[in-house]
A = this chain, B = another copy of it.
Amino acid sequence: MRIAVDAMGGDNAPSEIVKGCIVAAKEFSDITLVLYGKEELIRQEGIEEFKNIEIVHTDEKILSEDDPVRSIRRKKEASMVKAAVSVKKGENDALFSAGNTGALLAAGTLLIGRAKGVDRPGLLATFPSLSDGDTVFHMIDVGANADSKPLNINQYATLGSLYSKRVHGKQAPTVGLLNNGTEENKGSMLTKEAYQLLEKNPEINFIGNVEAREILNGAADVIVTDGFTGNAVLKTIEGTAISMMGLLKDSIYNNGMKAKIGGLLLKDSLKNMKDLLDYSKHGGAVLFGLKAPVIKTHGSATEEPVYYTIRQIRDMLQSHVLEELIDYFEHNEEQMP
């Protein structure tokens, strides 16, 4: 398994990216990490001893403020572009980046390409189910497409189910449609039409509408939604969790000695809570529906999230979920309008 890594993408590149790769390379002898970026900077992290880390030098990189499509087309020597092209050519099996999200979506779609029959790949994110720390759920699309059609949402359901089954070993993952009420007749024109398609989709275990209030409680294994709403929900979860941790900190530090001691006694328990909320443990967001795995992690990712994301990519490659996806959509393409 060969993973193409954009070593220059993200706020902490290349240092933290390379560090995370080193941890992964140490643990998994069955993967080879091919790092695209400035060789001199990459070497500074001390990779000599690892036979399963390779470097492809490149001087250029895509910046966070670059226009996605234009930069992918013009910056042919950028680390992300060269890494994507290597996957396209079959030299590597998957693409990883912490860089410009829009550019990565464009690189995935334009350079690696959609799986035949998939109308729009969706961005799939994995969250911990807070009602039960051991389980996770997936939401797709969390922002690959700003405008989705009912057909897209139905495909997200098939894609998400496949991911849950193959990568997380869930037998018959439940699929819920994110909606503004649980009754069948609820929703926007988009969700009402999507509901009709989902109900008839033989590949999924559709359980109907799910409200945003319930998703963190494990309302369904796979939540499907259009990319605009999914993006808003993902960012609202992040923002609310960060704000509440901030409030909790204030409650402990700005309320006198009694509260400070209370905070000290609770330190370990609160650390566990923070760990549970830290969904970088579950890897990055997968642009799912392409011919190869393309995974994005947070721009601010450090060594640990980078490691978790590489582990996730290895899980994906080992599960052969992509082969199954490609096979399914090739043979069911005629069903799509």
Contacts of A236 in B (CB 8 A): 212-213, 215, 232-233, 236-237, 240
Mask of A226-251 contacts with B, CB within 8 angstroms, 1/0: 01110111111111111110111011
In the assembled complex, the Cα of A234 lies from the Cα of B236 at a distance in Å of 9
Stretch touching chain B among A45-53, A157-165, A262-270? A262-270
For A264, the closest partner residue in chain B by CB is: B262
Stretch touching chain B among A19-27, A91-99, A253-261? A253-261
Give the bracket for the number of chain A residues in contact with chain B.
35 or more
Q: Are B212 and A239 in contact (CB under 8 A)?
A: yes
Contacts A251-B266, A258-B265, A272-B251 known; A217 to B243 CB distance under 8 Å?
Answer: yes
In the assembled complex, the Cα of A263 lies from the Cα of B273 at a distance in Å of 14
Contact of A240 among B227, B241, B255 (CB under 8 A): B241
* A336 adjacent to chain B (CB < 8 Å): no
Mask of A166-193 contacts with B, CB within 8 angstroms, 1/0: 0000000000001010000011110100
Q: Are A131 and B243 in contact (CB under 8 A)?
A: yes
Identify the A interface with B (CB < 8 A).
Answer: 130-131, 143, 146-147, 178, 180, 186-189, 191, 211-217, 225, 227-229, 231-244, 246-248, 250-252, 255, 258-259, 261-270, 272-273, 276-277
